[in-house]
Structures are given as C-alpha cells and as structure tokens.
Structure 1
Amino acid sequence: MTRPKEWPAMLASASYKPFARLLHWIVAILVIATIPAGQIMIREGLDRGTQDALFIFHKNVGVVILLLVITRLVYRAFNPAPPLPASIPPLQRHIAEINHWLLYALLIVMGVSGYVRVSAGGFPLEVFDAMGIPKLVAKSDPIAEIAQSIHFYTRIALIPLILLHIGAALYHAVLKRDGVFSRMAPWPTRR
C-alpha cells in the first residue's frame, strides 16, 4: 500500500491527545487483567488464599476502572475524538461509533454493578476502605443479588464488544495499515 508523503502529518493531526491515549491504555490493561481474574476467582475448589487475592484485585481494580472511564468520558466531552480518515466506509464508521459507546456504557454498568454488589453484600473494598472512603450503598442482600446478576450478564455482552474492538484495531494496524490504529497507539505519532 502506498501512502501519501503528507501521511505522517495527517496522522498526527487526526490522533488522540496523549492524555486520552494514556487513559485508553490504562483502562485496556486493567480490563484485560480483571476479566480472567473474575473468571478464575469464582471457580470451585480454588485455593482460598488465591481466591481472596483475586477477589481483592478484581473488586478494587473494578472501582478504579469505573473512575477512569468516567474521567475519560468527561475528558472526551471537552476533547472530542478526532475524525476517522475519509477512506473509512460509512458503515464501518457507524459500527465503530456504536461499539465505542457501548464499551463505555457497559464498562460503567460493570463498575457500578460490581461496586453495588460488593457494598450491598457487606464486603470490603480494601484499598478504598483503608483511605477512609465511605460506602455509598447500604448493606442489602436483595440489592446485592440484583447487582450480581447485572454484573454477570453485562459481562456476557461486554466481552464480545472488547474482542470486536481488538479485532478492528488489529485489522487496521496489521492488514490495512491505514493509520487508524496509530491514532490511539500507545507510542507517540510521528510528526
């Protein structure tokens, strides 16, 4: 594929700002780490020490992810996403936009439902409890059960969206090499 001489400059102007990239990659790493932790921690017969460590990690990192996603949405409200290259077909643009907003929404639902499950279930959030941050939800077993169900079923919808997002990123980075991945790449864009 031949690229125009002005491609690096066009790419730089259409790239996400460094803070948006930082938030994206921190959230991505944390989400990718919490999914297997969440899957493993509920296995029967798992060593209690391992299970406790995974629960502590999953609960506390889940709240951090929620706070980072909210931060990212606030930042994005004041710093809109750069436009996709004109070469991206309209249907692909539409799918990308829907996928991004669904990822944000489901990450928030996961974070809120996880927080409510833990708080209403009377379980500690070790890191936040140690900082003296009060719980926002009173203990309630029925609320905890509803939140647990929401958390469980949202995961079923979230994982395919994450895989679609990763697949699209790899498609643009490896196959198309059209600069779409470089807009959010963890390294600085060439100028």
Structure 2
Amino acid sequence: MPDRSIRYSFLSRAFHWSVALLVLLMIPAGAVMIQDGLPQPVQNTLFILHKNTGLLVLALVLLRLVWRQIAPPPPLPDRVPGWQRRVADLNHRLLYLLLVLMPVAGYVRVKAGGFPIETLDAWGVPALVPESEALATFAKSVHYYGALALGALIGLHLLAALYHGAIRRDGVVARMWA
C-alpha cells in the first residue's frame, strides 16, 4: 500500500472513480441514443438517463474542483520526468474543462432546443437559456466535438495509467487506489 502522504484522499478517490464510472457509462449511452431505428421507449430512456446523469457529473466535477482547492493532489514521485509532469497537468486541466463544458453544452442544446431536463423541471428550475434553434445547433456541435476530445483525453489518461502502473511501476497509479 502506498504511503498515505503521497496518496489521494478518500474523497478525491471517490470523486474520481464516481465521475469515471458515470462518464464511461454515458459515452456508449450517448452514442446509442442517437441511432436511427432505435425503439422510441429505449431512445427516450437513454436520453433521460444521459441528460440527468450529465447533471450529476457536472455537480460531482464542480465539487471535486472545490475539494482540490481544500485538499490538493499529492505530488508525483520525483522520478517522473518534467515533460511527463507537464503533459499530465495539461491532460488533467483539459479533462476538467471538458467535464464541465460537456454538461453545460448538453444543457444548452437541450433547453435551447425546447426539450425537458426532467430533474431540473421537477425541481422547478427555469431554463437559463432561451429557446433558439441556432443556439441549440451550436451547443450540439460543441457537445459532439467535446465528446471526441474527451474520448481522446480519457484514452491518453488510461494509456498513461497503464504505462505508469504496468511498465514503470513508479507509484503514480497507486496514488489513486485505496
């Protein structure tokens, strides 16, 4: 077990793995829900789950960002080269940016398109954007290209974790495990 001083806190790990699980479930759900020929009840269910899970992801990511200010991440082991530190930092910053941007763009796409977000509607939260086909179309493009970029960054993150965990065995990955 890694030294507690170089390990992420329990709450940081809980945020990480919760968001990771939700995002990894949302990617295929998002891809499937837009397919032609899908039975309407299945498509509706996937859309509802995707929209409302997106809200949960946004809340968790924002809480995690606040928590990172309270409990900063542990330092990388000294043996990690400077260029890898810079790439890791950039990857994390871009992941956080996209994990906020994606739900916001999804929200704008849905509300500007005149569609419901069941949880927010049930709570009586008014739409924060006007209905606008142009805005909905723009947000749809942002969400689509953001999804591609997020997939690429997640892939890079996973490859780096495999490299550090299976090849280098340098303690980087152990910081995120219990």
**After superposition, what is the alpha-carbon deviation per residue over 1:80-112, rounded to whole angstroms, capped at 9, x for unaligned?**
111100010111111101000000011111111
Per-residue deviation, 1:160:
0.7
Give RMSD over aligned pairs.
1.3
- Residue 149 (str. 1) matches residue 119 (str. 2): no
Q: Which stretches in structure 1 are left out of the alignment for 5+ residues?
A: 1-7
Indicate the larger mover: 89-98 or 128-137.
128-137
Distance 2:26 2:126 in 1: 23
Distance 2:75 2:165 in 1: 17
**After superposition, what is the alpha-carbon deviation per residue over 1:37-59, rounded to whole angstroms, capped at 9, x for unaligned?**
00001111111111111111111
Partner of 1:110: 102
Which has the greater radius of gyration?
Answer: 1
Partner of 1:28: 20
**After superposition, what is the alpha-carbon deviation per residue over 1:115-144, rounded to whole angstroms, capped at 9, x for unaligned?**
111111111111222223332222222111
Distance 1:78 1:134 in 2: 32
In the alignment of these two chains, the number of paired residues is: 178
Q: Which stretches in structure 2 are left out of the alignment for 5+ residues?
A: none
Distance 1:100 1:25 in 2: 14
Distance 2:162 2:49 in 1: 29
Per-residue deviation, 1:167:
1.3
Counterpart of 1:149 in 2: which secondary structure? helix
Of 155, 166, 169, the residue aligned with 1:174 is: 166
Deviation above 4 Å: which 4+ runs of structure 1?
Answer: none
Distance 2:92 2:100 in 1: 13
TM-score (norm 1): 0.88
Partner of 1:165: 157
Distance 1:136 1:77 in 2: 28
Partner of 1:5: none
Partner of 1:3: none
Partner of 1:84: 76
Distance 1:135 1:83 in 2: 41
Per-residue deviation, 1:154:
1.1
Partner of 1:18: 10
- Amino acid across the alignment from 2:4: A
